[in-house]
Structure formats: C-alpha cells, structure tokens
Amino acid sequence: MKTGKCRVRPLVLAVAAAGLAAGQQPLTVGQAIQRALKNYPSVRVSQEQINAAAAGIRLARTAYLPHADALAQVNRGTRNNVFGMLLPQSTIPSMSGPVLGTNNFGTAWGTAIGVLVSWEPFDFGLRRANLAVAGALEAESEAALKRTEYEIAVATADAFLTFAAAQDAVRAAQAGVDRAGVLLRTITAQVNAQLRPGADASRADAELAAARTQWIQGQQAADVARATLCQFVGMEPGQVTLDVSAMRQMPPEQEIPALDPAKNPVALEQHAAIEETLARLRALERSYFPRFYLQGSAYARGTGAETSGKILGGLNGLAPNTQNYALGFTVTFPISDLPSVRAREAAQSATVRAQQARSEQIATDLRAQWNRAVAMWSGARRIAANTPTQVAAARATTEQATARYEAGLGTIAEVAEAQRLLTQAEIDDALARLAVWRGLLGVAAAAGDIQPFVAEAGR
C-alpha cells in the first residue's frame, strides 16, 4: 500500500522542480500585475486608440489652414456649342466659347492648368467646436486605457489569489493523503497480525483513495488557476511560481475610507464619454451658420480652335497660352439644412441624456459593489479568526479517535470521519486568510484603486 503515497509525492516534487528549472523568480502580486499591464494585448489596443485620437486632433486643426486645389488637363474633342441653360450635373462636360452654329465632328486640342486657394477667415466657432470633439475623443481614449489597465490589474490580482488559494488547498489535501496513508499502513500491519478485521483495512484503503481523489481535484483546480494567471502575465504554466509570503499573515486592521464613485476608472471613462457627446452637440449647434471663403484662382487654357470655327491643326492647343486670375469672397448658407440640423441636435441631446443616465447607473452599481465588498471583507476576517479554533478542535478529535481506535474502544469509521474533518478544517483555514486578502482586493477594486492592496500584499 506504499505505492499510492509514492505516486503522489513525486508529482508534488515534479511540479516544484518544473518551476525551479524554468529559472524564474517567484512572482509577487505586484510583479504579476506589472507583467500583465505590459504584455496583455488589450492594453496595446487602448494605447493605439489614443494614438488614433491624437491623429484626429491633428486632422481637426488642419481645418484652419487654407485649402488649395490644383488641376491640369489635356483633351481633344469637338467644338460644337449651343445656346441655352444646363442644370448643374456631373455627366455632360461643360463647353466655353461662342455658339458657332456648326455641328461636325472635327476635333481640336484643348489644355487647362490652374490652382484655386480657399481660406475660411471665420466660422462662428465651428472649427473650434470640431477641435473640441477631437480633444474629447482623445480624453475618452485615455480614460478607456486607464479603465482597461484597472480591469486587467484587478483580474490579474484575482487570478493570483485564486492560484494561491488552490495551492494551499492542494497542500492541505496532501496532508490528508499522508494521514490516510499512515492509517492504512498501521491497520494493514495489525490485520496481517490478525489483530484487526480485514474490513478495517478495506475501509482505510477506501479513505486513502478518497483523500487522493480530493488531492487530484485540488491539483486540477490549481492547474486551471495557473493557466488563468498565465493568460495575463504572458508566461508558460511551467514558469509560474508565486511569492505569497506577505499573504501568510492576516492584513492589518484598517479603516475603510468612504467611497467616492467618481474616482473609479469606470466612472471616469463614462464622464469622458459624456464630455464627448456634449462636444458633438456643441459642434452641431455651430453648424447652421453661413460659411465665408476668401478665394484666389489662377489658371491658363489653350485651344486648337478659333472663335470663327477654324481648327488650327497640328499641336496647337497643347500649350495653355491664355491666362486669367481672380480674387473673390464667397458666402454659402445651407438654408434647407435647418430641419436636418435640428433633428441631429435632438438625437445628440438624447444621446447626452442617455450617457448621463448611464453615469448615474454606474455610480449606483459601484456603490452596491463597494458595499458587498466591505461585507465580504468583514465576514472573511471573522471567519479567518475562527478557523484556527476549528483546526485545533479537529486535530484534537483526530488524535482522540485514533487513540480510542488503538485502544479498541472506537471504530475505523470514527477515525476516518475525524481525519476528513481535520483535512477540511485545514483547507478552510488556509483559504480563510486568502479570503481576507480577496475581500481587501474587492474593496480596493470597488474604490477604483488597488494600489493599497498591492502595497500590503506585495510587501
């Protein structure tokens, strides 16, 4: 019956040796969070969104610059022209020059080259409003990055605690396997000496198998928790070992500061979203105004046909030899856009109100989360204060049951039950301390700043 124990011990040693062989220093919770913030892809996504928003600001500033369009054209076509109106369109090419009264297919060269420069000297604040929209988008992207970093830090710390708790549960389960193995060897020797019935040996064997199953389940949970932590820190499972020395003790008693939901990164991101929607509304409010443009144009044209209708032939018309220039001031006003502008303003106002309501909902949810976290932390401290008594009582019960059994006054069932109770008490005791740390993390996460937790847990 030594075989079962021998199978378990090498597994434990192999797991420990794998971590040592990797050459990795044990991770504190602070180091795990730093690795996650450096390696987890969603952080880089948020950073690139900030870069895109910053480029949007540069784009909005270009609206203050003059706008220049250049054109060069060479064509060969007929010269027939007619008198009359043609409504604005983009299909029929325009024709300049007198009406010749001819209708033939003779062609001539035509060229054109020119430049048009337009500048808007004032715009009733529209460009400034659009620049404010771009700035609000950048601020929202920065708030989104902080919220992403906050959520990753919380998730990494939670995964760290989950893995640490799973490891402690495995150690407690291993102690249960060891006790069941000792009991089995003792009873087997007594059965072989015909001092105990064979049924006792069978019961002890069953208890060892049950304890081993509990250990395997604990190891499975530890492997899953390790994989989850590796997802954040960017390491292979065999490389991860934890430094939880600071968490072996209870965190010190401390006053929980009052909650300010507005400081939570989630609330800050929502506030930035509200500012972005307000900036868009202000830009819409500045859009129904006249647009004033100071314009200058210079161009030259060439043609291979004269006003009499004669075609000059050869390469005539390929050189633009007739020049013109002009300076002007143009005013445009989209009169018919008022209904659509008013509709867009109404839609944007509704979006602003929705974002404000969402902000209130976030504040309510954060306060509820904080209240639950405080309740969990307070309860976890009380449980952790009670579990040592539970362990001591279970250990005394196990010793008494074993002594009674060895004296022939008790049964194997009493010993097995006492050992199971002790194993569970040791698991509960190991998890209780980490539950206090998890409660402290929950309070810090609800408050929006887990640095106090990291300072305590990683010291």
Q: How confident is the model at residue 362 (pLDDT cuts 50, 70, 90)?
A: very high
Across residues 106-112, what is the average pLDDT? 89
Confidence of residue 190 (pLDDT cuts 50, 70, 90): confident
Distance between CA atoms of residues 208 and 203, nearest Å: 9
DSSP string, 254-291: -PPPPP-GGGSHHHHHHHHHHHHHHHHHHHHHTSSS-E
Mean pLDDT over 64-84 rounds to: 89
Instruction: Report the percentage of the chain scoring pLDDT > 90.
Output: 31
What pLDDT score does 47 carry? 86
Report phi then psi at 69, rounded to 5: -125, 135
pLDDT for the residue 273 = 94
Q: What is the pLDDT of residues 249-267, one digit of tens each?
A: 777 777 777 888 888 999 9
Q: How far apart, in Å, do the first and last CA atoms of the chain sit? A: 44
Strand order in the sheet with 107-119: 67-78, 107-119, 291-303, 322-332
Give the residue-averaged pLDDT of 208-212.
Answer: 89
pLDDT per position as a tens digit, 380-413:
889 988 989 998 998 898 888 888 877 778 788 8
Q: Exposed, middle or buried: residue 318 (CB in 10 Å: 0-12, 13-18, 19+)?
A: middle
What per-residue confidence (pLDDT) applies to 22? 41
Mean local confidence (pLDDT), 182-196: 80
What is the model's pLDDT at position 20? Answer: 39
- Please give the residue that has the higher pLDDT: either 240 or 293: 293
What is the pLDDT at residue 459?
Answer: 55
Q: Which pLDDT does position 458 carry in this prediction?
A: 67
**Most confident listed range (255-269, 305-319, 321-335):** 321-335
Q: What is the mean pLDDT of residues 200-218?
A: 87
pLDDT at 414 > cutoff 60: yes
pLDDT at res. 24: 64
* CATH numbers and ranges of domains, the chain: 2-39+127-279+341-457 (1.20.1600.10)
CA–CA separation, 209 vs 12, rounded Å?
17
C-alpha dist (Å) from residue 418 to 182, 217, 393: 14, 21, 10
Section 433-455 average pLDDT: 88
Average pLDDT of span 440-448: 89
**Phi, psi angle pair for 27, to nearest 5°:** -90, 130
Q: Rounded distance, CA 432 to CA 337, Å?
A: 67
Tell me the mean pLDDT in the region 2-6.
41
pLDDT at 17 > cutoff 50: no
Percent of the chain's residues with pLDDT above 70: 94
